[in-house]
Structure 1
Amino acid sequence: MKMRFVLTLLITLLSLPVLAAIQTVTLAVPSMNCAACPITVKLALNKVDGVSQVDVSYPDREAVVTFDDNLTSVETLNQATGDAGYPSTLKPSEAERE
């Protein structure tokens, strides 16, 4: 009986979909050249499925994006900004620089 329970539990756990991982990335958006540009970048990123938060900084020329990696990817985020006229690239994290 105990073995059957363990086997059932194991099968159940293995059949569950992979849990979504919420990620936060920083995108460099060097082509923002006016104070109104962040509005367009933020609107473009917020339209991407899975994006939950976007903070765009004109002085830093970057966008910090929080998203569900089961629904979207960094490549999709870069495409969204590029399609809006503001190409972006992933900025390396502090951990990657060290």
Structure 2
Amino acid sequence: MQKFIVSLIFTLASLSAWADPQTVTLLLPTMNCAMCPITVKKALSQVEGVTKAKVSYEDKKAVVTFDDTHTSIEKLIEATTNAGYPSNVVETKTP
């Protein structure tokens, strides 16, 4: 019985390793030059759990793929805000 319980605990603990990535689109209305996306992408990429960040000056949006077991949308917004570019959620996607 103890082996079963230990096995169950390890199985449940490892489920986060199979977590599906989440994607969020953030609106960045204060980006006003072609260099702004570089700063925003760097800030987002430094957030633990972010696997991809695509930032478009033309659309004033960032599409961020992340592991929600390591970060949250709130932390992504905090990262852009701290970099000088407050953002708002436009869309979220989960597989």
Q: TM-score, normalised by structure 1?
A: 0.78
Any conservation in 2 of the 1:26–1:62 contact (CA below 8 Å)?
yes
Tell me the distance in 1 between the aligned counterparts of 2:89 and 2:8: 34
CA deviation vs aligned residue, 1:56-90 (integer Å, no higher than 9, x gap): 00000000001000000000000000000000011
CA distance change for structure 1 residues 51 and 89 in 2, over 3 Å: closer, same or farther?
Answer: same
Q: Does 1:81 align with 2:84?
A: no
State the partner residue of 2:23.
Answer: 24
Give the gaps of 5 or more residues in structure 2: none
SS of aligned partner of 1:91? strand
One-letter amino acid of the counterpart of residue 35, structure 1: A
State the partner residue of 1:44.
Answer: 43
SS of aligned partner of 2:58? coil
One-letter amino acid of the counterpart of residue 26, structure 1: T
Number of matched pairs: 88
Q: TM-score, normalised by structure 2?
A: 0.81
Identity, in percent, stands at: 53
Q: CA RMSD in A?
A: 2.1
